Structure 1
Amino acid sequence: MEKEDLSVLTKGNNVIILSSHEKSDSNSKIVTKVYKRRWLNLGLYVFYSSLVASQWVEYSIIANIVARYYNVSLRAVDWTSMIYMLFYVVFIFPISYLSERIGLRHTIILGSFLCCFGAWIKTLSVTPDRFPVTFAGQSIVALSLVIMLPMPGRVSANWFGSDELSTATSLGIFGPQFGISMMFFLPPFIVKNHEDVYDIGVDLSLLFWGVALASSLNLVLVILFFKDEPKLPPNETRALQKMNLNQVEGFIGPMKQLFTNKSFLILCNSYGLNVGILNVLGTLLSQLFLIHFANAEKDAGMIGLLIIFTGMFGSIMFGIILDKTRKFKETAVTVYFLTLCGQILFSVAILMEVKWMVYVAAIFLGFFMSGYLALGYELAAEYTYPISESHSAGILNITNNIYGIVLVIILEVVLEHYGDFPVHIIFCVALLIGLIMTIMTKDEQRRQDTRKSAVYQDVPQEDVEKEN
């Protein structure tokens, strides 16, 4: 290889990439290395994301108790969840721009700090007249979610090998799902609907302090151990992506490409409807369930836990399937269809007031609906490569948050005036529309096509400096 070619493809003293089959002769090689540290980085991200996402449903799953304690309306309590969706839509573009400028490590540190700061503010809100204080703390944590949500694909692309990308992304999504499932479970068991509001305050204080201490631990661990990116790229597509940075760098250029990509835009809407319905269920689940099962706050929390918890295993399973088969569209259509079936079963079970059937339906629905999260991220990465995964995931999540906000506002009114039957009908119709759009989407695999065209070699252990 010519010397001038090598200089173009280096950064400092570290070789990033030597060449690709597309841009040089057939004997060219791409140098890659997979580092053991990738699992530590992923584990730290999972811990951080679980703490941020968990607080999304911290209030709404015990909405009736929180409304009584702070003497506010149920709609005000719903906004403690909706603020997450609203902030994402408002702040995702400036946050994405900032993230590309400061790098992965400093982005995660900033998000961890905001999560910690917001959690500690909420410990100061345990007085019935301090709902604005608790809402302020929740809003700061919601800003941290804007930073956290697009990151799974970027963490996997920066650290994992080509045969691990989908699995790593699904494990990254495991964090938010685990956090949400735990918060569906913990508040109903910690915060009881005591007759004396003072006792409710004691329970809330215990909940807030637990989250604040865990968030502080997370901030310390991230500062000490989270790394930005390895010396050498872990996979061919990341190497080519870095080599072609001059073609997609900046912010305006990639955004124009994303908003003119038809397959990606269809995916945004189909994914948005699926996850938007999931967000609405998380916000309104307690109210929908208590209509048919009085004084069953714990059951509502357990059902929410099952929906998200089973989805964690769904995400991991679907990620492994994608890594093994590369059948992206076939997997997405199948999972979306089974999500619709699960929603129909869940709605029928609640309306028939058969509690055991609701539990079974929640397991089935959660496995596919919540499990679809990983598929959406991977499809977006395939459709939009070589644009940064954080950009595509950022836009992808705008749609689900817009759908979530609009649906919550509409369905609150429908629920208040017409009961829950039309709410369940709207859920099913929305998912049917999403399924049709998923079927319409082209089966594009730009990232896989690029990987296949690259000729690469793994770097021997002795050729590179080991990382601690």
Structure 2
Amino acid sequence: MSTDEKKTLLETAETSNFQASLSGQRPRPAYKLYPARFVILAVLALLNTSNGMLWITFAAIAPSVKSFYSLDSDLLVNLLSLIFFVVCIPGGFVGAWVLDTWGLRTGLLVGAWLNGVGAIVRYFSAFGHHYYSVLMTGQILCAAAQPFILFAPTKLTALWFGETERATANMVASIANPVGIAIATAVSPHLSSPSRMDVLWVYAIPAGAGVIMTTIVFCIWGSKPKTPPSTSASDEKTSFWKGLRQFWKFKWYVMLMIGWGFGVGLFNALQTFIEQLVCTRGYSEGFAGLCGALLILFGIPGALIAGIIVDHTRKYKEIMKVSYVFATGALIWFTAAIRYENEEVQIAAAMSVFGFFALAMLPVSMELSVECTFPHMSEATAAGLLWTMGQIMGIILVFIGQVPGLVTQLNQIHAPNNTCSSKPNPTISTTTRMTPTPSTAQDTVSDMINYSWMLCGITAFLAIGTILFFWPHYRRIEREYEVSVMTNESSEGVDDTVN
């Protein structure tokens, strides 16, 4: 803070407190927390849950989707999920720009309506001749909604929540997306068959509720409260374009972006290839689904605990480093265990530990993105670039999973107990579950153990780099502490003058 800024702030505080003291009143509080913040948080959590459900709707029911829409390629089914990765990259810049330029209210209204309309369009694809093109149109609209919804938690917590609430609130809003993914993965197989697609109208219900609740909430409240909850919430932020041009100047943020981007890509890769990673050693499709569920199920308490800890201790980098180390160890444990048969307990435990510590980094990283760039980047821009990097890394890692050198083709002699499909899909799969078929000695299956070891190596390298070289400055916390000290000093000066 410059000398002139400090002088202006001090004069403002002194004038306000002096006038309050002369009138016999206590100095007026500079900041205020509104109960409405919890309502807006609940609405955003609903939107994130719904969007996660719409994204992964068809991943676990690929055979039914192919039959219902008369498709002749697995790739067409996979594109229904992959389109979210593709749209989020250019759409991420639009979403961050709208949130930071036009405000939280406009951004969430746009996101909610895109999400709701997309869900309805998807539903209409089930009428008549079951039009795949209509289904894809609806899916694209839902994908376009994702940046507006996914980038909003950091913006919401900065504008509405107090200094000791932000990480926990961010966790609640952000973790709702993987919760939606877990719900859809578990429920979709029970709501579909080759002759019916009940998932379309069932998943449209929370999307429609999100539209209604978002519209009502923002007819009552605006993008931000009348009185800010903290010093940082009242500060002017840099414009979207200026922040975008200078993000590379903040080395701690760049390091965070690289680590976070790979982490999101790794999470998506594991969700994508979990069945192929375990099926060559005889682990069933159901067990692969259980591993994917454990990843998220144990990640929820991990994120909750991490959010509460950093809210009360400000130990952002410490929690980040500890989580990175244990997540890396769990990934190595998982890779070592899947080399052998009948190790269900070890594999499930490794995935649970990985999920706990991997998702613990979610609220910490989102808050760190602001701490590393404040006030030179707005909240949605800082968080949005992290998510966009994660989507890019997800696409890259999924494509790398198709490289022949990292994927070994084994025949029935070398993998006699495999439960994989005898004709593995050479295209990208987003958690597609294929029905195992009998194998012969001439059939081959993909062994991805080398790919998993590659992921372990990169994760370990980034973990070591984070431990040794990641020592960020908390710009927002330093600003709030500085203003707090100056305000206290000004209040003491006023008391001395009056007495």
* TM-score, normalising length: structure 2: 0.79
Against the structure 1 CA distance between its residues 20 and 317, is the aligned structure 2 distance closer, same or farther, given a 3 Å change threshold? farther
> In the alignment, residue 55 of structure 2 is paired with which amino acid?
W
CA distance in 1, matches of 2:359, 2:189: 22
Structure 1: 5+ residue runs without aligned partners?
6-18, 192-198, 458-468
**Larger RCO (CA under 8 A, 6+ residues apart):** 1
Of 375, 380, 384, which residue of structure 2 is paired with 1:394?
384
> In the alignment, residue 222 of structure 1 is paired with which amino acid?
T
* Offset at residue 356 of structure 1 (A): 3.0
Instruction: Please list the CA deviations of residues 312-351 of structure 1 after superposition, one character each: whole Å capped at 9, or x if unmatched.
Output: 2111111111112111111111101111111122223333
Give SS of 2:229's match.
Answer: coil
Number of aligned residues: 424
**For residues 279-298 of structure 1, what are the structure 2 equivalents within 5 Å?**
279-293=268-282, 296-298=284-286
Instruction: Please list the CA deviations of residues 7-48 of structure 1 after superposition, one character each: whole Å capped at 9, or x if unmatched.
Output: xxxxxxxxxxxx968843595477100011111110110001
CA distance in 2, matches of 1:135, 1:433: 39
> In the alignment, residue 326 of structure 1 is paired with which amino acid?
R
Contact 1:174 1:315 in 2 (8 A): yes
Give SS of 1:61's match.
Answer: coil
Do residues 371 (structure 1) and 370 (structure 2) align?
Answer: no
Of 224, 227, 235, which residue of structure 1 is paired with 2:230?
235
State the identity %.
25
Give SS of 2:30's match.
Answer: strand
Contact 1:34 1:161 in 2 (8 A): yes
Structure 1 equivalent of residue 155 of structure 2: 154
Of 336, 344, 349, which residue of structure 2 is paired with 1:355?
344
Contact 2:330 2:354 in 1 (8 A): yes
Structure 2: 5+ residue runs without aligned partners?
17-28, 410-445, 489-499
Against the structure 1 CA distance between its residues 370 and 79, is the aligned structure 2 distance closer, same or farther, given a 3 Å change threshold? farther
Instruction: Please list the CA deviations of residues 271-324 of structure 1 after superposition, one character each: whole Å capped at 9, or x if unmatched.
Output: 111111101222333443444446x44433332222112212111111111112
**For residues 70-109 of structure 1, what are the structure 2 equivalents within 5 Å?**
70-109=70-109
Give SS of 1:32's match.
Answer: coil
CA distance in 1, matches of 2:253, 2:301: 26
Structure 2 equivalent of residue 200 of structure 1: 194
Give SS of 2:103's match.
Answer: helix
Instruction: Please list the CA deviations of residues 156-203 of structure 1 after superposition, one character each: whole Å capped at 9, or x if unmatched.
Output: 111111111111111111211211121221123434xxxxxxx4231x
Contact 1:22 1:454 in 2 (8 A): no
Against the structure 1 CA distance between its residues 370 and 307, is the aligned structure 2 distance closer, same or farther, given a 3 Å change threshold? same
Structure 2 equivalent of residue 422 of structure 1: 450
| CA root-mean-square deviation | 2.5
* Offset at residue 360 of structure 1 (A): 1.9
CA distance in 2, matches of 1:364, 1:383: 28
CA distance in 1, matches of 2:160, 2:254: 27
Contact 1:115 1:141 in 2 (8 A): yes
CA distance in 1, matches of 2:251, 2:174: 25
Instruction: Please list the CA deviations of residues 212-262 of structure 1 after superposition, one character each: whole Å capped at 9, or x if unmatched.
Output: 1221111111111243211100112112x2xx34xx2x3221112212211
Do residues 124 (structure 1) and 124 (structure 2) align?
Answer: yes
Of 33-42 and 171-180, the range deviating more from structure 2: 171-180
Of 199, 211, 216, which residue of structure 1 is paired with 2:208?
216
Structure 2 equivalent of residue 45 of structure 1: 44
CA distance in 2, matches of 1:403, 1:201: 36
* TM-score, normalising length: structure 1: 0.84
Contact 1:167 1:323 in 2 (8 A): yes
Structure 2 equivalent of residue 431 of structure 1: 459
Contact 1:56 1:180 in 2 (8 A): yes
Do residues 167 (structure 1) and 168 (structure 2) align?
Answer: yes
Contact 1:165 1:323 in 2 (8 A): yes
* Offset at residue 55 of structure 1 (A): 2.3
